Amino acid sequence: MDIQERLTAFAMLGATWVMWLLVGLSVVCLAIILDRAYYLFSTRDDLPSLREALRKLYRDRDVAGAKKRAEESKSAAASVIAAALDDADRGPAAIAERIDGESAIVKTRMERNLAFLGTVGNNAPFVGLLGTVIGIIRAFHELDQSGGEVTSGLMAEVGEALVATAIGLLVAIPAVAAYNFFGRVIRYRMVWAQTMGSDLLAHAKGEDRKES
- Reported as a single tens digit per residue, the pLDDT across 149-169 is 556 665 666 667 778 888 899
Assigned domain for 8 exists: no
Task: Report which of 130, 189, 182 is spatially closest to residue 161, judged by C-alpha positions.
Answer: 130
Assigned domain for 32 exists: yes
Assigned domain for 123 exists: yes
Confidence grade of residue 41 (pLDDT, cut at 50, 70, 90): very high
- Burial pattern 141-167, b for ≥16 Cβ within 10 A else e, equals bbbeeeeeeeeeebeebbebbebbbeb
Task: Report which of 59, 79, 101 is spatially closest to residue 69, judged by C-alpha positions.
Answer: 79
- Reported as a single tens digit per residue, the pLDDT across 108-141 is 999 999 999 999 999 999 988 888 888 777 766 6
Amino acid 13: pLDDT:
54
Assigned domain for 5 exists: no
Assigned domain for 33 exists: yes
Distance between CA atoms of residues 142 and 151, nearest Å: 8
pTM, to two decimals: 0.83
Assigned domain for 1 exists: no
- The alpha helices in 60-113, defined as continuous H runs, are 63-72, 76-85, 92-110
- Percent above pLDDT 90 for the chain: 58
Sequence-separated (6 or more) residues with CB below 8 Å from residue 157: 135, 136, 138, 139, 142
Query: In terms of pLDDT, which residue wins out, 92 or 161?
Result: 92
Task: Report which of 141, 111, 119 is spatially closest to residue 36, judged by C-alpha positions.
Answer: 111
Assigned domain for 200 exists: yes
Measured from the Cβ of residue 99, the count of other Cβ atoms closer than 10 Å reads 22
Give the total number of structural domains in the chain.
1
Does the pLDDT at position 102 exceed 80?
A: yes
Distance between CA atoms of residues 70 and 192, nearest Å: 13
Mean pLDDT for the stretch of residues 188-203: 94
State which residues form the domain around 137: 16-43+58-211
Assigned domain for 192 exists: yes
Confidence grade of residue 5 (pLDDT, cut at 50, 70, 90): low
- Burial pattern 32-52, b for ≥16 Cβ within 10 A else e, equals bbeebeeebeebebebeebbe
Mean pLDDT for the stretch of residues 11-38: 85
Does the pLDDT at position 17 exceed 50?
A: yes
Average pLDDT of the residues of the chain: 85
Amino acid 10: pLDDT:
46
